[in-house]
Amino acid sequence: MLQRNGVNPLMVFDGTAVAAKQGENSSRRNQRETALEKAMEAQAKGDSTTARSFFAKAVCVTHEMAHQLILELQERGVPFLVAPFEADGQLAFLSRNGRLLVRCITVNI
């Protein structure tokens, strides 16, 4: 859809995990697990609105999911990069060096 409307996306994926963020990553994992538990409880009670909210917070994008997206991007000819570490830093580098013409949205995986 983006390409059909004249937008040339560049997907940037996180690379190797940053060791200094190990605690933060663990905390986020725990938050996702807690959200999944709350979603299941809400769903069991028939509260689909609350369940949906917690399911959204429980989403974990796996390496396999990212790999499947990369394969699809390759098939469609959409450019992508795998950052050495976090995508945010790579996007900042690209922006500062005039390689990005628009704002970017990052998705943590």
pLDDT tens by residue, 71-92: 999 999 999 999 999 888 888 8
Contacts of 78 (CB under 8 A, 6+ apart): 3, 9, 11
Q: Which CATH superfamily is domain 3-96 in?
A: 5'-nuclease (3.40.50.1010)
Contacts of 62 (CB under 8 A, 6+ apart): 109
pTM recorded for the entire structure: 0.70
* Residue boundaries of the structural domains of the chain: 3-96
For the chain, give the percent of residues with pLDDT over 90: 54
Measuring CA to CA, which residue among 80, 39, 81 is closest to residue 59? 39
Structure tokens at 94: 């690209």
How far apart are the C-alpha atoms of 93 and 15, rounded to whole Å? 15
